[in-house]
A = this chain, B = another copy of it.
Amino acid sequence: MKSLFLLVLGNTEVSLIPGISVAGATPELTKYTPPADAEYLFYDKPKIIDAIPVTPEGHPTPAIITKAARELANFPILVVRGGTYLAPKVPHVHISSIVGRDFRREPALPEAGEIIERAKLLGQELERSGIEELVIGESTPGGTTTAQAILWALGYEGKTSSASPNNPQELKRRVIEEGFRRAGIEFGGLKGNSLEALRQFGDPMMATVVGLSLGFKGDVVLAGGTQMLAVAAILKGLGEDLSRFMIATTRWVVEDKSATFIKTAREIGIISYAADLDFSKSEFKGLRDYEKGYVKEGVGAGGATWLAVKAGFSPEDVVRKVEELYRKLIS
């Protein structure tokens, strides 16, 4: 089966709220995370900034897993700029440069319809190109908060995960409730109106993945954790049959007790795969800490591992390659 890995980049102002996102060393640096993740897949280092994205405590971006899986399985990658502050300095499909707004103050993405339409065109062309399976990863700092807002607006009681072992659920709840007040809705208030939920609380990554999924009619692997639950919920709300969709994520997301991945996936009705990656034996603290709940997923790490496994490699092979890449990075 001919598979294509898409990396969809998105930003939302929500990542600038202190304490919401650790997908960058500081809130301001989360603006660089999506393009830097994309660039690192193609080069030894990002181009837009001199180092790979890290958490405030220095844990490396999950792009290192995606890069490792790709170096093993050699699958094709197409970067898609759904909507970011900065363009990556690698070839990428431009969908928009629209960043999701802080939904506490205003609708997050009034342009959702236009972004979906454009991404749908791209999905159609990929379908015509003979691609049979899209594996769609993402890099979207702050994206678990927009995802949880979407789930709640659509009436799912799910909790999204976090790149931090201390999932800021209390802060997320307050931010979302403030957004709901601004929009004048309550929990479940946009059930049956997915598109409006996306406009009010979404981010450009979600709109892009929705559009791609509508345009492309083959198999779609949503490669991400709880953020992809929100995408799946929107697709279901739009009347898509989810039987051609799967979420591929990592064990770390599935095992996250502060989130409800399996329960919510079941509620939505989408099957999932969890890459059995284990960093506990790593010689590097930055990687060993994944086992303590740092980072967990992103940049389609689980989906990339899925592609490597389909190509005959084991999760252990991926882990070994990650180790090798990390050694190279810090030497």
Q: Does A25 contact B (CB under 8 A)?
A: no
Q: Which of A127-135, A136-144, A152-160, A264-272 contacts B (4 or more CB under 8 A)?
A: A127-135
Contact of A93 among B2, B92, B118, B130 (CB under 8 A): B92
| This chain: copies in complex | 2
Contact A42 B77 (CB under 8 A): no
Contacts A74-B128, A76-B129, A129-B76 given; does A118 touch B91 at CB 8 Å: yes
Residues of B within 8 A of A78 (CB): 125, 129
Q: Does A122 contact B (CB under 8 A)?
A: yes
Q: Does A235 contact B (CB under 8 A)?
A: no
Q: How far is the CB of A308 from chain B (nearest CB, A)?
A: 14
Contact of A131 among B77, B92, B118, B129 (CB under 8 A): B129
Residues of B within 8 A of A42 (CB): 121
Q: Does A228 contact B (CB under 8 A)?
A: no
Q: Does A126 contact B (CB under 8 A)?
A: yes
Q: Does A31 contact B (CB under 8 A)?
A: no
Contacts A81-B94, A92-B93, A93-B94 given; does A76 touch B125 at CB 8 Å: yes
Q: Does A98 contact B (CB under 8 A)?
A: no
Contact of A92 among B2, B94, B127 (CB under 8 A): B94
User: Which residues, 77 to 124 on A, are CB-close (under 8 Å) to B?
Assistant: 77-78, 81, 87, 90-95, 118-119, 121-122
Q: Does A75 contact B (CB under 8 A)?
A: yes
Given A4-B129, A77-B128, A78-B129, 10 other A-B residues pairs in contact with their CB atoms under 8 A: A2-B129, A2-B130, A74-B128, A76-B129, A78-B125, A91-B94, A91-B121, A92-B93, A93-B93, A94-B94
Contacts A94-B91, A95-B91 given; does A76 touch B128 at CB 8 Å: yes
Residues of B within 8 A of A87 (CB): 94
Q: How far is the CB of A74 from chain B (nearest CB, A)?
A: 6
Contacts A2-B130, A129-B2, A129-B4 given; does A122 touch B76 at CB 8 Å: no
Q: How far is the CA of A122 from the CA of B92 in the complex (A)?
A: 8
